Amino acid sequence: MTVAKSSFQISADFDSGNIDVLDISDPLQASLAIRPDTRSPHFQWFHFKASGLHVGQEHWFRLTNASKSSYSRAWTGYQAVASYDHVNWFRIPTIFEGDALRFNLEATQTHAWFAYFEPYSRGRHDWLIEQALSKAGTELLATGKSVEGRDIQLLRKGSGVEGQRKIWIIAQQHPGEHMAEWFMEGVLERLQRHDDAELNTLLAGADLYLVPNMNPDGAFHGHLRTNAMGQDLNRAWQNASQELSPEVVFVQQQMQKYGVDLFLDVHGDEEIPHVFAAGCEGNPGYTPRLEQLEEQFRSHLKHQTRDFQTTHGYPRSQPGHANMTLACNSVGEQYDCLSLTLEMPFKDHDDNPNPYTGWSGKRSMQLGKDVLSTFASLVNNLR
């Protein structure tokens, strides 16, 4: 009797794919490992496809090196995401055993994708740029180049006339933080509206400078933290170079050219199951004015949506002890402006949990739309 050779396969050779296959001799117990970033020891992001699933059976996947990942404490309370169509993603049962991370799927179809978070593809990015130019009334103000030559688009909504405040939003300096470009899609979707009073108030006083993806190389290669030269872009804002961090050089040049009155750097956080904003309280130039603007931002957004809170977040920096290599601190100091790092969770926003999806692309999009309302409430107080 011939036994059909298992058609079970694992693949990750696609946009933002990341997995190494160790042993799949038993299709129901796949042994895998996450691959580190290029030229960097960082790893945590994973994204792969399993084909030849046995419908009706429970498939287990074991990430054997999880305890050595960049944020290994973050696996506690985390659930992996899965999808049968790479569009609709849902959380699956996940266990961190102190060394490996294990998750399982009782297959209802013969193939499925698995990831650390709902991926945002380069193809969707290209579509988003087209949508931004054709429907959201933005212009392509400038295009930078990543280490490997991918476009870094700077979009502007607004004419750039004298007197307009300049509000900047950059996203995904850390390439594994895919929620950041979902957020930008929400911002750009709302910019397509015409009967939006808050948006009209915002745009009457400010132009928006938008960089939907700061790190296309890292995103494409399935990195967690670094660009193609192994650089953490959010530690490069004091010594960016064309060779190692051209992505930051480009944005800094554009900021110098146009100015900055409000800066938002959009990220994802591995450990904290909440949405929050970190400020510049450790900057040498931090003032009561900036502190009050941060408070206004947080207070408005907390009342705008249940998907934001102010109780949990990073420990505050001591006065004068900020890490000035971070975008938020560097830009806030240089332009004496409101400057924040916005954090969305890889887990869920426990103040308003959704057990089926956890935090998701859709919720990231909605947060992007809500932040524009908060910007509208601040636009006339920025200076």
The residue (of 170 and 326) whose beta carbon lies closer to ligand GEM is 326
Considering the rule CB under 6 A, would residue 213 count as an interface residue with ligand GEM? no
Bridge partners (DSSP) of residue 379 are none
165 binds ligand GEM (CB under 6 A): no
Rule CB under 5 A: say whether 157 interacts with Zn ion.
Answer: no
Window of 18-26, 62-70, 120-128, 310-318 that interacts with ligand GEM by CB under 6 A: 310-318
Contacts of 315 (CB under 8 A, 6+ apart): none
Q: Which does 56 bind (CB under 5 to 8 A by kind): Zn ion, ligand GEM, none?
A: none
Least separation in angstroms between residue 316's CB and ligand GEM is: 8
CA separation (Å) from 244 to 146, 231, 241, 260?
10, 7, 5, 24
Counts of helices then strands in the chain (DSSP H, E):
8, 17
- Positions in 270-289 near ligand GEM (CB under 6 A): 278
If binding is defined by CB under 6 A, does position 343 make contact with ligand GEM?
A: yes
Is position 342 an interface residue for ligand GEM (rule: CB under 6 A)? Answer: no
Beta bridge partners of 151: 145
Identify which of 224, 58, 210, 190 has the alpha carbon closest to the alpha carbon of residue 143.
210
By CB under 6 A, name the one of 174, 223, 274, 300 that touches ligand GEM.
174
Q: Residues 67 to 126: which contact ligand GEM by CB under 6 A?
A: none
Task: From the list ligand GEM, Zn ion, none, pick the one residue 326 interacts with, judged by a Cβ distance below 5 to 8 Å according to partner type.
Answer: ligand GEM
- What spatial distance separates the first Cα and last Cα of the chain, rounded to whole Å? 80
As a whole number of angstroms, the distance between CA 25 and CA 333 comes to: 55
**Cβ 227 to ligand GEM shortest distance, Å:** 14
What whole-number distance in Å separates Cα of residue 261 and Cα of residue 165?
6
Classify 303 as helix, strand or coil.
helix
Among 6, 76, 241, 314, binds ligand GEM (CB under 6 A): 314
Q: Report the amino acid identity of residue 185.
A: E
Contact (Cβ atoms closer than 8 angstroms) between residue 360 and residue 118: yes
3-state secondary structure of 89: strand
238 in contact with ligand GEM (CB under 6 A): no
Residue 91 interacts with Zn ion (CB under 5 A)? no
Residue span binding ligand GEM (CB under 6 A) among the ranges 66-74, 188-196, 284-292, 309-317? 309-317
Whether 139 is a known active-site residue: answer: no
For the record, the structure tokens of 329 come out as 């601190």
Residues lying near Zn ion in the complex (CB under 5 A) are found at 174, 177, 267
What residues are annotated to the active site?
343
Residues lying near ligand GEM in the complex (CB under 6 A) are found at 174, 234, 267, 269, 278, 314-315, 317, 326, 341, 343
